[in-house]
Amino acid sequence: MAQEQGFRGGAWVVPSFLRKVWQMTLRNLRNDWKYKFKLLLNSLYTAINLALFTVLAEVVQPNPGALPADYEPGGFLKFLFVGTYFWACFTHPFEDTVQCLPEETQKGTLGLLLTQNISIPVILMGRFWASFIISILLATAVVTPFFFILDMVANIVAALPWIILIMASMTLFMMCVSLWVASFSLLFKKTGVLSNVFIYGLKVSTGMFFPIFGLKGSTLILESVPVASGIDLLRDLFILGQPVAHGTASTVGFGWQETAEHWVGFVLQSQIIGVIALVIIALLCIKVYVKKAKLLGMIEAY
Amino acid sequence: MGVTKCEYVIEVKDLVKRFQAGGSFWRPKYEAIINGMTFSVRKGDHVAIIGANGSGKTTLMKILAGIYLPDAGTVTVHGFDITRQLGRVLDHLSFVSPALNFLKKLTLRAKINFYAKAQGKDPEPAFKFIDEFGVANMLDEMLEVFSEGQKAITRFAIALLKQPDIMLIDEVTANLDVLRKEKLLAYLSARKDRITYVIIDHDVTTVDRLSNKILMLKRGGSVLKLGDVGEILKSIPYRYNVDVIPRNVKDKQFWDDFDQPWREVGSHVQFICQTKEEVSRIGALLLDNKDVISFSSSGLSIEDIYYFYLINEDFRGSEGMGRISYDDAMI
Ligand SMILES: Nc1ncnc2c1ncn2[C@@H]1O[C@H](COP(=O)(O)OP(=O)(O)O)[C@@H](O)[C@H]1O
Ligand SMILES: [Mg+2]
């Protein structure tokens, strides 16, 4: 026993945490697989988004300088497509994670998980990863034909290691954001509006609807959100196969996008700072709110 | 698993738990469900918690299982503080309750595999348990089609996975058929030297078979009494009872005419006696009475603890109490 406790305090804690997250992920995947109609609708939603953005790019053109000149031809459409692909990967993981605790509570399953030593962060991460695995597979399946049509596949293959690195870091960031917003549902059961505000803000910052570099002055600060900078770098990689300098004279004031190297440095910096900050915020909020919810007797009561 | 570091298996000191009961969002009102509770459970003790509805039995268990945090006081399990070392407590403690549910679209097999792998345990013993209790034919069925009894077996299978040395069992046996219940009680009894049981059950047989200590909760949240079953039985101010099933509902006068203390227990009536002579006298009178379907006489059992203390607490002085006075028996 003494030996066992020694292990618990040290080396075994991390593997057991990861093992639990992975088992939760598998459990959710198995469960989601039973609701195939929902999966179909999700794919349809992505396809409809792509179709609508194709129309948008036909009728609207961004200001000169909002996008790197090298993106042409068809730069705006490609720009929108990468954003759509990204959000097809992350919208459901975010929403599912935020809804996870109220749902498990309503089904009466949260109590059993908790007493089986599966903690709230594990439950939330298991939910996020399951949804992410499903979403990225479906989104990639739907979007890949369009990447072929737009002649982007060669670039994607060339830049694949970088793409995976940036995607991984943004995935971590999105997981932390999801956990953070989900933590509010420990104390407030109806967090739908709040989560909508969050995801809408993030979508705007990532240029889901318009390029951030089309903005002026201090609003450009939006670009330092990890998913905003990360996704703009992703666009470079998808569309050109390599990073390029962003912005015009009016945006150079920010200093980081004069050269491609500056730009990449800025992106990496925002990734690292953003992810670390969010990990701390999310885990802290969960810890405090779990304690509060257990005190109020509302952790498994709906 | 020799966790011998601490004298007590469970130690509860000055525990207070309040829940919001009415009031507004800005000015919530709190009601203490558990108010200054202190007791301890040693190795070898198996405790049945009894108390009227709403006396905080389930709340106490949920605190022990880490679902609620105490508002004041300390709770330790094997010396580990429940608020600071919950993970360690839960490694050895299982909570079995009908309030804990499963995803209904998963199969029993998937469910057991999930909980086994998440704990890093071998699932085989759980499958064996399932087989032993005749639920093996349901392994590949989704949990949504399970009967309450089958769910109860599932709950035990999952609870046993982590080889707990403490099991909290909250009214789980109620939905089991007679045979399975008997089997389960035998199964759990056989493991009494390894597992400390804390149970809540309205069924006297279950309490009798699984526990040797009784923790009586008073409404308003403190311990009315904690003691050996034998000791508590001694505190009851009568020695025998004659349980009568009447043909139809009789008025108070009918029973008063027997000239023996009596009480109503559901549709039964019980005469309570101090001596065997009193039992014989009542027996003789009842034998000839055409308004009586059947009757049986017995010494005191755990049933009497329920009737005496709980009815006493709930209905003291009410009509159903007949002529009996319990005042001198109160602690
Ligand atoms: N999570 C909760 N929030 C608010 N009140 C609660 C909560 N859990 C229990 N209560 C209240 O505490 C009292 C005791 O409940 P419980 O412990 O379930 O009683 P029992 O002894 O019947 O198991 C009840 O009045 C119940 O309404
Ligand atoms: Mg209860």
pLDDT in tens, A28-40: 999 998 888 888 8
- The structural domains of chain A, with segments of one domain joined by +, span 15-296
In this structure, are B75 and B220 located in the same domain? yes
Indicate which residue's Cα is closest to atom 8 of ligand 1: B59
Burial B314-330 (b: 16+ CB within 10 A, else e): eeeeeeebbebebeeee
Check A299 against B100: CB less than 8 A apart: no
What does the angle CA B272 – CA B273 – CA B276 come to, to the nearest 5 degrees?
145
Examine the domain organization and report whether B47 and B107 are in the same domain: no
Mean predicted confidence (pLDDT) in A103-131? 94
Note whether B6 contacts A: Cβ–Cβ < 8 A: no
Q: What is the pLDDT of residues A203-258, one digit of tens each?
A: 888 877 777 776 666 666 777 788 888 988 898 898 888 888 776 555 554 545 66
What is the pLDDT at residue B289? 87
Ligand 1 atom closest to B61 (CA): 17
* Domain shared by B111 and B83, yes or no: no
Please, what sign has the CA dihedral across residues B181, B184, B190, B196?
negative
* AA letter at A96: D
Look at strands B72-77 and B166-170 and give their pairing.
unpaired
Residue B68: closest C-alpha in chain A:
A294
Show residues of chain A in contact with B100, CB under 8 Å: 108-109, 111-112, 115
Q: Which run of H or of E encompasses B39?
A: strand B28-42
Please give the sequence-ordered ranges of beta strands (E in DSSP) within B119-267, or none if there are none: 166-170, 196-200, 213-218, 222-228, 240-246, 262-265
pLDDT tens-digit profile of A55-84?
777 777 777 667 777 777 777 888 888 888
**Same domain, yes or no, for B175 and B30?**
yes
Which ligand is located closest to the Cα atom of residue B169? 2
Q: What is the mean pLDDT of chain A?
A: 84
**Higher-scoring residue by pLDDT: B68, B234:** B68
Contacts of B69 in chain A (CB under 8 A): 291, 294-295
Residue of B nearest to A35 (CA): B105
- Residue A216 confidence (pLDDT): 66
Q: Are residues B83 and B170 in the same domain?
A: yes
| Total number of domains in chain B | 3
Residue range B216-273, pLDDT digits in tens = 887 777 777 788 887 888 888 888 989 999 987 778 888 888 888 888 877 888 898 9
Query: Which CATH number characterizes residue B216's domain?
Result: 3.40.50.300
Mapped to the 3 state alphabet, what secondary structure does chain A carry?
CHHHHHHHHCCCHHHHHHHHHHHHHHHHHHHHHCCHHHHHHHHHHHHHHHHHHHHHHHHCCCCCCCCCHHHCCCHHHHHHHHHHHHHHHHHHHHHHHHHHHHHHHHHCCHHHHHHCCCCHHHHHHHHHHHHHHHHHHHHHHHHHHHHHHCCCHHHHHHCHHHHHHHHHHHHHHHHHHHHHHHHHCCCCCCCHHHHHHHHHHHHHHCCCCCCHHHCCHHHHHHHHCHHHHHHHHHHHHHHHCCCCCCCCHHHHCCCCCCCHHHHHHHHHHHHHHHHHHHHHHHHHHHHHHHHHHHHHCCCCCC
Say what the ipTM of the complex is: 0.84
Q: Which of A8, A27, A115 sits opposite B66 (nearest CB)?
A: A115
Question: Residue A288 and residue A286: Cα distance in Å, rounded?
Answer: 6
- Residues of chain A contacting B90 with CB distance shorter than 8 Å: 115-117
Same domain, B78 and B196: yes
Task: Give the pLDDT confidence of A119-153 residue by residue, as tens digits.
Answer: 999 999 999 999 999 999 988 988 888 888 888 88
- Residue that has been written with the tokens 């399946």 in this structure: A141
Report CA torsion sign: B76, B80, B83, B86: negative
- Asked whether residue B292 falls in the same domain as residue B260, the answer is yes
Is B103 within 8 Å of A27 (Cβ atoms)? yes
Whether the pLDDT of residue B317 is over 50: the answer is no
Q: Is B91 on the interface with A (CB under 8 A)?
A: yes
Judge if B215 and B276 occupy the same domain.
no
Which ligand has its closest atom nearest to the C-alpha of B172?
Answer: 2
**Contact: A108, B65; criterion CB under 8 Å:** no
- pLDDT-derived band at B321 (thresholds 50, 70, 90) equals very low
Q: What's the mean pLDDT in B18-22? A: 87
CA of B23 to the centre of ligand 1 (A): 17
> Most A CBs within 10 Å: which of B119, B144, B148, B169, as the mutation test of the A interface?
B119
Which structure tokens are listed for A164?
């995976």
Query: Containing domain of residue B144, as a range?
Result: 101-158
For the stretch B285-310, pLDDT in tens is 999 888 889 999 988 887 788 777 76
Q: Cβ–Cβ of B104/A299 closer than 8 Å? A: no
Model pLDDT for residues B151-193, shown as the tens digit of each residue: 999 999 999 999 999 999 998 888 888 889 999 999 999 999 9
Q: Do A107 and B101 touch (CB under 8 A)?
A: yes
CB contact under 8 A, B69 and A27: no
Q: Is A1 on the interface with B (CB under 8 A)?
A: yes
Is B55 close to ligand 1, i.e. is its CB under 6 Å away? yes
Predicted confidence (pLDDT) at residue B95 exceeds the cutoff of 90? yes
CB contact under 8 A, B120 and A16: yes
Name the residue at shortest CA distance from atom 4 of ligand 1.
B19
Same domain? B319 vs B178: no
Least Cα distance to A95 among A191, A225, A222 occurs for: A191
pLDDT for the residue B320: 36
pLDDT score for A174: 95
> Closest residue of A to B118, CA-based?
A20
Cβ contact B76:B82 at 8 Å: yes
B180 and B208 co-located in one domain = yes
Per-residue model confidence (pLDDT) at position B226: 82
**The predicted structure's pLDDT at residue A287:** 96
Co-location of B177 and B87 in the same domain: yes
- Provide mean pLDDT across the span B71-94: 94
User: Do B87 and B105 lie in a common domain?
Assistant: no
